[in-house]
């Protein structure tokens, strides 16, 4: 049976797609956390800088035309209590430097608000600057007081690096959780397909019921097609079974009638050449009848072996019945069949197939054993097996092709002149294999063939 060509795995593809989505979401979470943290940190620093600059402005007084500023302690100390940053300031009146760090950069953009913020470099370090302005009135007229407060960014950079590490761990944890969910989701999604495959795998020619278990909506077309296929297969198998039974009857009955008439004619014919011709005709009828019967038996075995009946089989009784059914044939050749049955082994299987296999073994032994010989059948039971041994004192199996006798239509080199189809041992092999057993062909040390059938008891 040819294997289906597999192109990828739904479970793997779904898992990979979910994992890629998890990677994208993890990166998105990482960058969002980074952006929000940076924005919050920047906003917090700007608010502190603005508060510091405004507190300095609030402390400004005009005394006798001169500006007096009494620096509040909190105006600058609030900037280095947490991060130990370096703080710079500059105070200007109408653009003219009054005090602080004269080289502190000025805002480069026109003033559009009471407080401006800018990022720059001062003394080789990156800084953030907040500039606040306020109008003053004095005897000399109106003027604008401008206070710039700057703070280095090393502390904030360290804080952002720590937040970056935390966000990386958060993103990694999110990815691991998403990966676990992806695996669970892919398994849960594919599970209905696995259940469907297991349900179909357990079925056979005797169990072609439609699949009626609850299934996802997307699988309805597949299951509907599968049910239609099994319905057609059931009808086809029923017709095949009926055909086999009908063919067995229609083929064997006419051949038996023709053979009977040929034997009657043989008694009436006196000429020797005519008698030889009729004998050849009878022989051809026997060969055709046996071949047709064996072909039909093989078809029946193939059909039933696909789905064995599970029934209790009394192997001792079955063996004894088979021997008794063939005793008239053996008596025609003046052969004696001895049976030695030890114990009462039972097994689970198909009694019809097992009897068919045993009948073929005994029939072969009767055919190939000379008249007046003895055929011995032994049945015994081991710990876990029932063993049937059929031994004759005929010519035995050809040593060169003993292993090839199991194949269809294969016959040994010593089968010339004996009616046969080459299907007997093939049927036995198929039945024994279907029951989980083993068929062994060998020759005895003296003379004769030995067939051993081992079946799990």
Per-residue pLDDT of the chain (457 residues; tens, 9 = 90+): 445 555 567 778 888 888 888 888 888 888 888 888 888 888 888 888 888 888 888 887 777 667 777 777 666 666 665 456 788 888 888 888 888 888 888 877 666 567 888 888 888 888 888 888 888 776 667 778 888 888 888 777 777 788 888 878 887 888 888 888 888 888 888 888 888 777 777 776 666 778 777 777 877 888 888 888 888 877 776 776 677 666 666 666 777 777 788 778 878 887 888 888 887 787 777 666 666 666 666 666 766 666 667 788 888 888 888 888 888 878 878 888 888 888 888 888 888 888 888 888 888 888 878 887 888 888 888 878 888 888 888 777 777 666 766 665 455 545 544 544 556 777 788 888 888 888 888 887 667 888 888 888 7
Close Cβ partners of 26 (under 8 Å, ≥ 6 residues apart): 171, 172, 174, 175, 178
Sign of CA dihedral 178, 180, 182, 185: negative
Distances (CA, A) of 235 to 230, 238, 241, 306: 9, 5, 10, 16
Q: How far apart are CA 292 and CA 280, in angstroms?
A: 18
- Cα–Cα distances (Å) from 33 to 36, 180, 313, in that order, read 5, 22, 73
Q: Which two tokens stand for residue 244?
A: 């086999």
The model's pTM is 0.46
């Amino acid at each position: 049976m040819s294997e289906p060509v597999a192109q990828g795995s739904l479970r793997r593809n779904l898992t990979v797609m979910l994992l890629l989505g998890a990677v994208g979401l993890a990166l998105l979470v990482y960058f969002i956390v980074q952006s929000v943290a940076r924005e919050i940190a920047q906003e917090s620093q700007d608010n502190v800088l603005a508060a510091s600059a405004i507190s300095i402005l609030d402390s400004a007084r005009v005394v006798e035309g001169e500006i007096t500023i009494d620096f509040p302690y909190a105006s600058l100390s609030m900037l280095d209590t947490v991060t130990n940053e370096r703080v710079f300031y500059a105070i200007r009146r109408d653009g003219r430097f009054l005090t602080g760090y004269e080289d502190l950069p000025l805002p480069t953009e026109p003033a559009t608000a009471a407080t401006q913020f800018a990022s720059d470099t001062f003394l080789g370090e990156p800084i953030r600057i907040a500039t606040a302005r306020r109008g003053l009135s004095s005897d000399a007229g109106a003027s604008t007081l401008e206070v710039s407060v700057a703070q280095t960014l090393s502390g904030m950079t360290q804080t952002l690096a720590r937040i970056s590490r935390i966000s990386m761990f958060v993103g990694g944890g999110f990815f691991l959780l998403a990966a676990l969910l992806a695996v669970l989701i892919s398994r849960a999604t594919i599970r209905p397909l696995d259940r469907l495959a297991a349900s179909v795998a357990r079925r056979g020619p005797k169990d072609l019921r439609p699949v009626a278990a609850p299934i996802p909506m997307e699988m309805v077309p597949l299951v509907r097609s599968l049910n239609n296929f099994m319905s057609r297969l059931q009808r086809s198998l029923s017709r095949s079974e009926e055909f086999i039974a009908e063919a067995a009857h229609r083929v064997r009955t006419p051949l038996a009638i023709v053979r009977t008439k040929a034997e009657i004619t043989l008694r009436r014919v006196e000429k020797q050449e005519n008698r030889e011709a009729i004998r050849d005709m009878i022989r051809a009828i026997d060969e055709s009848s046996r071949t047709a019967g064996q072909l039909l038996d093989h078809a029946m075995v193939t059909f039933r072996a696909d789905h064995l009946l599970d029934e209790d089989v009394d192997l001792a009784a079955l063996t004894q019945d088979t021997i008794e059914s063939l005793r008239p044939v053996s008596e025609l050749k003046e052969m004696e069949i001895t049976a030695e049955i030890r114990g009462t082994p039972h097994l689970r299987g198909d009694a019809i197939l097992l009897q068919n296999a045993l009948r073929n073994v005994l029939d072969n032994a009767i055919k190939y054993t000379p008249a007046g010989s003895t055929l011995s059948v032994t049945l015994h039971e081991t710990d876990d097996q029932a063993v049937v041994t059929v031994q004759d004192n005929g010519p035995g199996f050809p040593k060169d092709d003993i292993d090839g006798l199991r194949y269809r239509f294969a016959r040994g080199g010593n089968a010339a002149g004996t009616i046969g189809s080459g299907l007997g041992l093939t049927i036995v092999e198929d039945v024994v294999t279907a029951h989980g057993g083993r068929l062994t062909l060998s020759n005895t040390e003296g003379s004769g063939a030995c067939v051993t059938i081992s079946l799990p008891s």
